[in-house]
Amino acid sequence: MATSASSQTFTAEPDADGRPAVGWWAQFSFNVVHGGAAVLLRVLSIRGLYLFARGFGTLEWLINYKRRRRFGVALARILDAPPSSAERRRATREHFCQSRCDKLFYLVMDCIPREKAVSLFTIENQHLLDDALARGRGVYIALSHNGPHHTAGNLFALTGYKITGVRDRREGGIRRFVQDRFDRKYPEFRRMQLLFADSFPRDIYRCFKEGYVLASAIDVSRKRSETQRTVEVETPGGKRSFLTGPLYIAIRCGAPVIQGFAVPYPGFRYGLKLVEVLIDPDDVGERSETDAVVRRAVEKYAANLEKHIRSAPTLITRV
Protein backbone atom coordinates (compact mmCIF):
# COMPACT_ATOMS: atom_id res chain seq x y z
CA MET A 1 0.00 0.00 0.00
CA ALA A 2 1.33 3.42 -0.87
CA THR A 3 2.04 5.70 2.04
CA SER A 4 2.48 9.43 2.37
CA ALA A 5 5.76 11.14 3.09
CA SER A 6 5.10 11.07 6.82
CA SER A 7 3.94 7.45 6.87
CA GLN A 8 6.56 4.76 6.57
CA THR A 9 6.79 1.02 6.72
CA PHE A 10 9.15 -0.48 9.28
CA THR A 11 12.45 -0.17 7.43
CA ALA A 12 15.87 1.23 8.14
CA GLU A 13 15.26 4.58 6.45
CA PRO A 14 18.09 6.65 4.97
CA ASP A 15 18.90 10.04 6.41
CA ALA A 16 18.82 13.33 4.50
CA ASP A 17 22.12 12.47 2.75
CA GLY A 18 20.88 9.07 1.61
CA ARG A 19 23.03 7.14 4.07
CA PRO A 20 21.56 4.27 6.10
CA ALA A 21 19.90 5.42 9.33
CA VAL A 22 21.76 2.63 11.13
CA GLY A 23 25.50 3.24 10.71
CA TRP A 24 27.83 0.52 9.48
CA TRP A 25 29.43 -0.05 12.89
CA ALA A 26 26.10 -0.24 14.65
CA GLN A 27 24.81 -2.52 11.89
CA PHE A 28 27.86 -4.77 12.32
CA SER A 29 27.43 -4.85 16.11
CA PHE A 30 23.73 -5.66 15.86
CA ASN A 31 24.44 -8.45 13.36
CA VAL A 32 27.04 -9.99 15.68
CA VAL A 33 24.70 -9.92 18.68
CA HIS A 34 21.79 -11.13 16.55
CA GLY A 35 23.90 -14.00 15.20
CA GLY A 36 24.94 -15.06 18.68
CA ALA A 37 21.35 -14.96 19.92
CA ALA A 38 20.21 -16.96 16.88
CA VAL A 39 22.80 -19.66 17.65
CA LEU A 40 21.58 -19.82 21.24
CA LEU A 41 18.01 -20.17 19.98
CA ARG A 42 18.94 -23.12 17.75
CA VAL A 43 20.98 -24.82 20.47
CA LEU A 44 18.77 -24.15 23.48
CA SER A 45 15.29 -23.93 21.87
CA ILE A 46 12.83 -21.20 22.81
CA ARG A 47 12.39 -22.52 26.35
CA GLY A 48 16.13 -22.80 26.88
CA LEU A 49 16.70 -19.28 25.54
CA TYR A 50 14.01 -18.01 27.91
CA LEU A 51 15.74 -19.60 30.90
CA PHE A 52 19.08 -18.22 29.69
CA ALA A 53 17.58 -14.72 29.49
CA ARG A 54 16.21 -14.99 33.02
CA GLY A 55 19.60 -16.11 34.27
CA PHE A 56 21.27 -13.19 32.52
CA GLY A 57 18.67 -10.86 34.01
CA THR A 58 19.42 -12.18 37.48
CA LEU A 59 23.10 -11.47 36.94
CA GLU A 60 22.26 -7.92 35.89
CA TRP A 61 20.11 -7.56 39.00
CA LEU A 62 23.05 -8.58 41.18
CA ILE A 63 25.55 -6.11 39.74
CA ASN A 64 23.54 -3.08 38.55
CA TYR A 65 22.85 -1.47 41.90
CA LYS A 66 22.07 1.97 40.42
CA ARG A 67 19.20 0.63 38.34
CA ARG A 68 18.03 -1.45 41.31
CA ARG A 69 17.82 1.71 43.37
CA ARG A 70 15.95 3.65 40.66
CA PHE A 71 13.43 0.85 40.29
CA GLY A 72 12.97 0.69 44.07
CA VAL A 73 12.12 4.40 44.12
CA ALA A 74 9.64 3.98 41.25
CA LEU A 75 8.09 0.95 42.94
CA ALA A 76 7.53 2.78 46.22
CA ARG A 77 5.94 5.67 44.32
CA ILE A 78 3.19 3.59 42.68
CA LEU A 79 2.23 1.29 45.57
CA ASP A 80 -0.28 2.22 48.26
CA ALA A 81 2.07 1.14 51.04
CA PRO A 82 5.89 0.98 51.07
CA PRO A 83 7.03 -2.51 50.02
CA SER A 84 8.94 -4.69 52.44
CA SER A 85 12.56 -5.49 51.70
CA ALA A 86 11.60 -8.96 50.47
CA GLU A 87 8.84 -7.59 48.22
CA ARG A 88 11.17 -4.97 46.78
CA ARG A 89 13.90 -7.53 46.05
CA ARG A 90 11.44 -9.94 44.45
CA ALA A 91 9.82 -7.26 42.28
CA THR A 92 13.17 -5.75 41.30
CA ARG A 93 14.65 -9.10 40.28
CA GLU A 94 11.57 -9.92 38.22
CA HIS A 95 11.82 -6.53 36.53
CA PHE A 96 15.41 -7.24 35.50
CA CYS A 97 14.57 -10.75 34.28
CA GLN A 98 11.54 -9.63 32.29
CA SER A 99 13.41 -6.72 30.73
CA ARG A 100 16.22 -9.04 29.57
CA CYS A 101 13.71 -11.58 28.23
CA ASP A 102 11.90 -8.88 26.24
CA LYS A 103 15.11 -7.53 24.74
CA LEU A 104 16.46 -10.95 23.75
CA PHE A 105 13.17 -12.16 22.28
CA TYR A 106 12.74 -8.90 20.37
CA LEU A 107 16.18 -9.39 18.82
CA VAL A 108 15.56 -12.95 17.56
CA MET A 109 11.89 -12.78 16.58
CA ASP A 110 12.75 -12.96 12.90
CA CYS A 111 14.44 -16.35 13.52
CA ILE A 112 11.22 -17.90 14.83
CA PRO A 113 8.92 -19.57 12.25
CA ARG A 114 5.80 -17.52 11.56
CA GLU A 115 3.39 -20.18 12.85
CA LYS A 116 5.33 -20.49 16.09
CA ALA A 117 5.55 -16.71 16.52
CA VAL A 118 1.80 -16.31 16.04
CA SER A 119 1.14 -19.10 18.56
CA LEU A 120 3.11 -17.11 21.15
CA PHE A 121 0.72 -14.15 20.91
CA THR A 122 -2.80 -13.84 22.29
CA ILE A 123 -5.41 -11.08 22.35
CA GLU A 124 -7.48 -10.91 25.51
CA ASN A 125 -11.08 -9.77 24.96
CA GLN A 126 -10.55 -9.99 21.21
CA HIS A 127 -14.29 -9.61 20.66
CA LEU A 128 -13.98 -5.92 21.60
CA LEU A 129 -11.65 -5.42 18.64
CA ASP A 130 -13.61 -7.54 16.19
CA ASP A 131 -16.95 -5.92 17.08
CA ALA A 132 -15.45 -2.47 16.66
CA LEU A 133 -13.83 -3.32 13.31
CA ALA A 134 -17.11 -4.72 12.03
CA ARG A 135 -18.39 -1.14 11.81
CA GLY A 136 -15.87 -0.49 9.02
CA ARG A 137 -14.49 2.77 10.40
CA GLY A 138 -11.25 1.57 11.94
CA VAL A 139 -10.29 1.31 15.61
CA TYR A 140 -7.97 3.26 17.86
CA ILE A 141 -6.18 1.34 20.65
CA ALA A 142 -4.86 3.59 23.42
CA LEU A 143 -1.71 1.95 24.79
CA SER A 144 0.76 3.08 27.46
CA HIS A 145 4.51 3.14 27.98
CA ASN A 146 4.43 0.08 30.22
CA GLY A 147 5.28 -3.42 29.14
CA PRO A 148 6.82 -4.74 25.90
CA HIS A 149 4.69 -2.79 23.43
CA HIS A 150 7.31 -2.99 20.63
CA THR A 151 7.48 -6.78 20.92
CA ALA A 152 3.72 -7.18 21.15
CA GLY A 153 3.28 -4.80 18.23
CA ASN A 154 5.52 -6.89 15.97
CA LEU A 155 3.62 -10.05 16.86
CA PHE A 156 0.28 -8.27 16.46
CA ALA A 157 1.32 -7.40 12.90
CA LEU A 158 1.46 -11.12 12.07
CA THR A 159 -2.14 -11.83 13.11
CA GLY A 160 -3.77 -10.61 9.90
CA TYR A 161 -5.21 -7.34 11.16
CA LYS A 162 -4.46 -4.18 9.20
CA ILE A 163 -2.33 -2.26 11.66
CA THR A 164 -0.87 1.22 11.90
CA GLY A 165 1.70 1.99 14.59
CA VAL A 166 3.25 5.22 15.81
CA ARG A 167 6.93 5.74 16.53
CA ASP A 168 9.36 8.46 17.46
CA ARG A 169 11.12 9.98 14.44
CA ARG A 170 14.42 9.61 16.36
CA GLU A 171 13.92 5.95 17.19
CA GLY A 172 17.02 4.01 18.26
CA GLY A 173 19.13 1.93 15.90
CA ILE A 174 18.27 -1.43 17.47
CA ARG A 175 14.57 -0.93 16.74
CA ARG A 176 15.29 0.04 13.13
CA PHE A 177 17.55 -2.99 12.80
CA VAL A 178 14.89 -5.42 14.06
CA GLN A 179 12.11 -3.74 12.08
CA ASP A 180 14.15 -4.00 8.89
CA ARG A 181 14.68 -7.73 9.38
CA PHE A 182 10.96 -8.22 10.07
CA ASP A 183 10.07 -6.16 7.03
CA ARG A 184 12.19 -8.36 4.76
CA LYS A 185 10.89 -11.65 6.19
CA TYR A 186 7.15 -11.21 6.73
CA PRO A 187 4.71 -9.93 4.06
CA GLU A 188 2.26 -9.19 6.90
CA PHE A 189 4.78 -6.85 8.45
CA ARG A 190 5.34 -5.02 5.16
CA ARG A 191 1.61 -4.26 5.10
CA MET A 192 1.88 -2.60 8.47
CA GLN A 193 1.91 1.17 8.20
CA LEU A 194 3.79 3.44 10.53
CA LEU A 195 3.20 7.07 11.40
CA PHE A 196 5.70 9.29 13.12
CA ALA A 197 4.60 10.83 16.40
CA ASP A 198 4.58 14.26 14.74
CA SER A 199 2.65 13.13 11.65
CA PHE A 200 -0.12 15.26 10.19
CA PRO A 201 -3.69 14.35 11.23
CA ARG A 202 -4.65 13.60 7.61
CA ASP A 203 -2.54 10.43 7.78
CA ILE A 204 -4.56 9.21 10.75
CA TYR A 205 -7.83 10.12 9.00
CA ARG A 206 -6.79 8.00 6.03
CA CYS A 207 -5.93 5.00 8.19
CA PHE A 208 -9.30 5.04 9.92
CA LYS A 209 -11.09 5.47 6.60
CA GLU A 210 -9.32 2.37 5.28
CA GLY A 211 -10.31 0.30 8.32
CA TYR A 212 -6.93 0.11 10.05
CA VAL A 213 -6.26 -0.56 13.70
CA LEU A 214 -4.18 2.38 14.87
CA ALA A 215 -2.33 1.96 18.17
CA SER A 216 -0.20 4.40 20.16
CA ALA A 217 0.59 5.35 23.74
CA ILE A 218 -1.15 8.46 25.08
CA ASP A 219 0.63 8.71 28.43
CA VAL A 220 3.37 11.25 27.74
CA SER A 221 6.35 12.52 29.70
CA ARG A 222 6.83 15.50 27.39
CA LYS A 223 5.02 17.33 24.60
CA ARG A 224 6.75 16.80 21.26
CA SER A 225 5.30 19.98 19.80
CA GLU A 226 3.03 22.87 20.75
CA THR A 227 0.35 21.52 18.40
CA GLN A 228 -0.17 18.36 20.44
CA ARG A 229 -3.40 18.41 22.42
CA THR A 230 -3.25 17.13 25.99
CA VAL A 231 -5.43 17.09 29.07
CA GLU A 232 -4.33 16.93 32.69
CA VAL A 233 -5.93 14.37 34.98
CA GLU A 234 -5.51 13.97 38.72
CA THR A 235 -4.02 10.57 39.58
CA PRO A 236 -2.83 9.04 42.87
CA GLY A 237 0.70 10.00 41.83
CA GLY A 238 -0.28 13.60 41.08
CA LYS A 239 -1.42 15.40 37.93
CA ARG A 240 -0.43 13.79 34.65
CA SER A 241 -0.84 14.85 31.04
CA PHE A 242 -2.34 12.57 28.41
CA LEU A 243 -2.56 13.01 24.65
CA THR A 244 -6.05 13.69 23.35
CA GLY A 245 -5.47 14.45 19.66
CA PRO A 246 -5.92 10.81 18.53
CA LEU A 247 -9.14 10.56 20.55
CA TYR A 248 -10.67 13.62 18.87
CA ILE A 249 -9.71 12.29 15.44
CA ALA A 250 -11.16 8.85 16.23
CA ILE A 251 -14.47 10.46 17.22
CA ARG A 252 -14.58 12.49 14.00
CA CYS A 253 -13.86 9.37 11.96
CA GLY A 254 -16.40 7.25 13.84
CA ALA A 255 -13.67 4.89 15.09
CA PRO A 256 -14.23 3.30 18.52
CA VAL A 257 -11.48 3.85 21.11
CA ILE A 258 -10.32 0.80 23.10
CA GLN A 259 -7.75 0.77 25.89
CA GLY A 260 -5.12 -1.94 25.77
CA PHE A 261 -1.92 -3.10 27.44
CA ALA A 262 1.01 -5.08 26.07
CA VAL A 263 1.69 -7.86 28.56
CA PRO A 264 4.34 -10.61 28.81
CA TYR A 265 3.78 -14.16 29.99
CA PRO A 266 6.25 -16.89 31.00
CA GLY A 267 8.06 -18.75 28.23
CA PHE A 268 8.40 -15.88 25.73
CA ARG A 269 4.65 -15.51 25.36
CA TYR A 270 3.09 -12.11 24.83
CA GLY A 271 -0.35 -10.65 24.58
CA LEU A 272 -2.49 -7.62 23.96
CA LYS A 273 -4.89 -7.13 26.85
CA LEU A 274 -7.92 -5.15 25.75
CA VAL A 275 -9.61 -3.60 28.78
CA GLU A 276 -12.70 -1.72 27.67
CA VAL A 277 -14.20 0.59 25.08
CA LEU A 278 -13.33 4.09 26.22
CA ILE A 279 -15.30 5.91 23.53
CA ASP A 280 -18.12 4.69 21.32
CA PRO A 281 -18.46 7.45 18.71
CA ASP A 282 -22.08 6.47 18.09
CA ASP A 283 -22.87 7.57 21.66
CA VAL A 284 -21.31 11.01 21.22
CA GLY A 285 -24.01 13.63 20.74
CA GLU A 286 -23.42 17.25 19.81
CA ARG A 287 -19.92 18.45 19.03
CA SER A 288 -20.13 20.62 22.12
CA GLU A 289 -20.14 17.41 24.18
CA THR A 290 -16.90 16.08 22.66
CA ASP A 291 -14.59 17.74 25.19
CA ALA A 292 -16.50 16.18 28.07
CA VAL A 293 -16.51 12.76 26.37
CA VAL A 294 -12.75 12.90 25.82
CA ARG A 295 -12.08 13.98 29.42
CA ARG A 296 -14.19 11.13 30.79
CA ALA A 297 -12.36 8.69 28.51
CA VAL A 298 -8.97 9.94 29.68
CA GLU A 299 -10.05 9.68 33.32
CA LYS A 300 -11.10 6.05 32.75
CA TYR A 301 -7.85 5.44 30.90
CA ALA A 302 -5.81 6.87 33.79
CA ALA A 303 -7.72 4.80 36.37
CA ASN A 304 -7.20 1.60 34.37
CA LEU A 305 -3.53 2.44 33.87
CA GLU A 306 -3.02 3.00 37.59
CA LYS A 307 -4.71 -0.32 38.39
CA HIS A 308 -2.63 -2.12 35.77
CA ILE A 309 0.67 -0.69 37.02
CA ARG A 310 -0.10 -1.60 40.61
CA SER A 311 -1.05 -5.14 39.66
CA ALA A 312 2.11 -5.58 37.54
CA PRO A 313 4.76 -3.14 38.87
CA THR A 314 7.58 -5.15 37.28
CA LEU A 315 6.47 -3.77 33.89
CA ILE A 316 7.49 -0.22 34.73
CA THR A 317 9.69 0.97 31.88
CA ARG A 318 10.57 4.51 32.87
CA VAL A 319 12.97 4.08 35.82
Residue 216 near residue 166 (C-beta atoms within 8 A): yes
pLDDT at 1 over 50: no
pTM: 0.85
- The fraction of the chain above a pLDDT of 90, given in percent, is 49
pLDDT band at 104 (very low <50, low <70, confident <90, very high): very high
Q: How many Cβ atoms are within 10 Å of 311's Cβ, its own excluded? A: 8
Dihedral of CA atoms 158, 163, 168, 169 in degrees, nearest 10, equals: 100
Q: Answer whether residue 27 shows pLDDT above 70.
A: yes
Which range among 72-76, 212-216, 235-239, 274-278 shows the weakest confidence by mean pLDDT?
A: 235-239
Contact 182, 138 (CB under 8 A): no
pLDDT, residue 171, reads 67
Ranges assigned E (strand) in 39-170: 121-124, 139-143, 163-167
* Terminal-residue alpha carbon distance, the chain: 38
Q: How far is CA 295 from CA 138, 236, 247, in A?
A: 21, 17, 10
Whether the predicted pLDDT of 16 surpasses 50: no
Instruction: Please give the DSSP secondary-structure letter assigned to residue 111.
Output: G
**How would residue 274 be classed by pLDDT, with cut points 50, 70 and 90?**
very high
